[in-house]
Amino acid sequence: MRITKVDVLAFHRVLDGRSWNPSFRWHERRAPLVVVETDAGLRGIGEAWSRQPEIARVLEELAQQLAPALLGRDIALARDDIARRFEASADWAAAAAASAIDLALWDLEAQARGEPLWRAFGGRSGRVRVYASGGLYRDGETLDDLARQFAGYAAAGFDAAKMKIGALPLEQDLGRVRAARRALGSEATLWVDAVNQLDRLRAPAWCDALAAADVAAIQAPLPFDDVAGMASINAAHLAVVATEAEHRRAAFAELLDAKAVTHLQYCLGLCGGPSGARALDALAAAHGVTSTPQCFSTAVLQSASLHFGAAHPNVVAVEHHRFHDHLADMLPAAMKRIHHGHVLLDDTPGLGLAPLRVGPQAGGGEVRLHASIHR
C-alpha cells in the first residue's frame, strides 16, 4: 500500500477572547492537520502540536519537507523514515510535523487491518480512564459559575478533572479550587495546571496549600527547565505532571532520572506521534512512573490520545478537553460518553473519526487547504 497524496490543512476557529490561562488569552485556536491517502483509497489523518503564533512553521515543514518525501512510499517504510526524521529533529516545528505524519500512518495501518487504533497498538480493551480538562479563567465568572462548570463534569460522568491556577493571588486561587472540589465531590480526583507560573520561592507554600485543599497533582508548577525545582516539589509537596511542550527524549529522561514527575506528560502531536509516545510510556514505566497524554486541540488528537490510553495500561488518565473541543462533530458517540470516569471505544477501524471536510465546520471554525501534494 503506497502513498499517493498528502493534503496539508489548517484549522482556524475564532473564540470570544473571554477565556484565558495565566499566560495566554484565547482569541482564536489554530491547528495543523494532515491527510495521507493511499493507492487503496484509504485516508489517514494526523494533527501536530503548535505554538499558536508559529503554526505556519509546522505547515511549511509538512508541505515542503515531509509530504514530498512520502509520495510513492510504502506506509511501513514511510513510518520508519518519519521516525528517523523525528529523532534528528532539534526544532520543535519539525518534530511536530513528523508527529502528525506518524499518527496519520498509524491510522492508515489500522484501517488496512480493519482494526481500531487501540487494537493496532496491541491493546486488549477499548476502555480508557479520562479526566475533564477545563477550569480556565473567564472574564466575569463567579465562583458559583465555576462550581456549575465542575458540577456539570460530575453529572456527565467524570470522576476526575483539571483546572488552571497561578494567575491570581494564592487565596483567590484557593477559593476557586475549593469551589471546584465541592462541585466535583469528595471522591473525585482534582489536578491543577499552573502553566509554569510559580517559582522556587513561592511554589512550596502554594503546593502545600493546594494539597490541603485535596488537590492530587500539579501540572507545570515551574519553568520546564527547572528540573531540580520540580523534583523538590514532587518529593516533598505535591505530585508533579510534566511536560506537554517537550519533544526531546533526553529531556523526558532527565525528568525521570531526577524523579521530578509522578506522571510523565507528553503530546502525541509533538513527541513523535504514537510511535514516540509508546517509547516514552515504556520509559516512564521502567522508572515506576505513570504517563498521561496531553490534549488541548481538535478531535484528531483527542481520538488519538484516547486510543493510546486504552492500549497502554501505564497511562493513568487521558485529558478530555471541555474547552478545546474543536471539530467535536468528528468524534463518534462512544468518545463523547463518559461512564464512571471512563470512555469505552468502539471497534471502528483506525481513529474512528467522521471524514474531515474542507470549509466551515458545523461546530465552529473552518478548515482550509494549505497544500496538496500528489503524484
Task: Give the pLDDT confidence of 121-168 residue by residue, as tens digits.
Answer: 999 999 999 999 999 999 999 999 999 999 999 999 999 999 999 999
Domain with residues 119-344, CATH architecture: Alpha-Beta Barrel (3.20)
Would you say residue 41 has pLDDT above 90? yes
- Residues paired with residue 272 on neighbouring β-strands, in sequence order: none
As a whole number, mean pLDDT of residues 25-54 equals 97
Ramachandran angles phi, psi of 189, nearest 5°: -95, 135
| CATH top-level class of 3-114+355-374 | alpha beta
Percentage of the chain modeled with pLDDT above 70: 100
Would you say residue 80 has pLDDT above 90? yes
| End-to-end CA separation in angstroms for the chain | 15
Cβ(341)–Cβ(160) below 8 Å: yes
Report in angstroms the alpha-carbon separations of 187 from 115, 208, 271, 318. Answer: 36, 20, 33, 19
Angle between helices 273-286 and 249-257 (to 10 degrees): 20
Report in angstroms the alpha-carbon separations of 370 from 27, 64, 142, 232, 326. Answer: 22, 11, 41, 45, 19
For the chain, what are the domain ranges? Answer: 3-114+355-374, 119-344
The C-alpha cell of 237 is what?
A: 509537596
Do 3-114+355-374 and 119-344 fold alike per CATH?
no
Flag whether the pTM goes above 0.85.
Answer: yes
DSSP type of residue 356: P
Per residue in 333-350, pLDDT (tens digit) is: 999 999 999 999 999 999
As a whole number, mean pLDDT of residues 292-296 equals 96
Average pLDDT, rounded, for the chain:
97
Percentage of the chain modeled with pLDDT above 90: 98
As a whole number, mean pLDDT of residues 187-202 equals 97
Would you say residue 375 has pLDDT above 90? no
Neighbours of 23 (CB within 10 A): 12
